[in-house]
Amino acid sequence: MDFDLSKDQLDIKKAAREFAEGEFPEVAEMCDREEKYPKELVRKAAELGFVGISLPEEYGGSGYGYLEKCLVNEELWRVDPGLGSAVTAATFGADMILLYGNNEQKRKYIPPLVKGDAVMGSAITEPNAGSDVSSIASAAVKAGNEFVINGTKMFITNGTVGSYFAVICLTQPENPSRHRRHSVILVERDRQGFEATKIHNKMGIRASDTAELYFRDVRVPLDHLIGEEGKGFYQFMEFFNRTRIHVGAQGIGIAQGAMDLAIKHARSREQFGKPLSSFQAIQFKIAEMATRIQAARNLVHEAACRADKGKPDHKLTAMAKWYAGETAVRSADEALQIHGGYGFIGEYAIQRFYRDAKIIEIYEGTKEIEKIIISRALLG
């Protein structure tokens, strides 16, 4: 097994890091404090090819794979998780179209994302249905040549800035199998009856837009169905089997960025007449962080490589996402501890990493869900 990155991959990694270091510091604290979505920053990232890094060339993308997108995720989130989230989530839902959409849907909805002219979201979670996707109650009823959608979605990324959404709806409520009752329908935000309300005062990734969506007799053509009717649950499970790899990469980015800040502080801060970095307790913390980060990176990169070969492994993906999330949380915690009281005030970036890290263990499958996937794969 070759663990070395290719020249192209190293160049992508370097370019993403340089972009983040050049653009993020100026606005990171402001976007976090004001909960502001960095629209122009996302557009610039799109123009430079970071948004469409893994989308096919025929639709304007760069045509790279999951591993290259992971490298971009790592580097952007390493500099600032909130801004990294805004950039890397701009295409959240594109994989659903690529996996299950028809050629017309791909040609119409993918290129605007690559250019930065549009932002996409996936509307899954509801007030009473989070991890239990099969209990989603938002319904789409056929009326002539249209679907009429009613329901509410919660915690939706890009909710107030998204141009269109992949929405999972109940379409076959009478089906005896609870996993064959739902379908995925593409809904544009300018449809009458659609409303989005921004969720404020989040703990972390506050530069990323999160909202509650309302569908009140929203009408969309039947040809907005993505994939097969009644297969929505399975489509989103396969969708997550890919996107969770990128979430794992986000966790690595947070952990690495937190460790970078801890090392910088430990070298410059003195106690008892010596730099913190000279104390064994601090050295051990750094050593443990570095080891966990490397282990998480290996898991995520292997999961990405398998997906790039057309053989995504749901067990390995779950391992990568869970362990990278835990690594992000533990590394941010230890890094803040190394900062001591300084880490507890807003002037220091480590407090943002600490707040941002927790989301990795929650969205796109909680750590408990990932452990269920792993154990079922092993035990049957």
* Residues 66 and 247 sit within 8 Å (Cβ to Cβ): no
Residue recorded with tokens 């050049």:
22
Query: How far is residue 296 from each of residues 4, 174, 270, 289, 300, measured CA to CA in Å?
Result: 16, 43, 31, 11, 6
Ordered by start, the domain boundaries in the chain are: 7-93, 120-233, 234-379
Task: List, for residues 143-196, the tens digit of each pLDDT value.
Answer: 999 999 999 999 999 999 999 999 999 999 999 999 999 999 999 999 999 999
Instruction: Decide if 228 is catalytic.
Output: no
120-233 fold: Butyryl-CoA Dehydrogenase, subunit A; domain 2 (2.40.110)
pLDDT for 312 equals: 92
320 vs 158: CA distance, rounded Å = 25
Tens digit of each residue's pLDDT (9 = 90 or more) over 354-367:
999 999 999 999 99
Equal CATH topology for 7-93 and 120-233: no
pLDDT at res. 170: 98
Q: Which CATH number fits domain 234-379: 1.10.1740.10, 1.20.140.10, 1.10.3720.10, 3.20.20.140?
A: 1.20.140.10
pLDDT in tens, 28-47: 999 999 999 999 999 999 99
Identify the active-site residue in 326, 334, 364, 370: 364
The 10s digit of each residue's pLDDT in 309-323 is 999 999 999 999 999
Q: For residue 171, what pLDDT is reported?
A: 98
Per-chain mean pLDDT for the chain: 97
pLDDT of residue 1 exceeding 90, the answer is no
CATH code for the domain defined by 7-93: 1.10.540.10
pLDDT of residue 380: 87
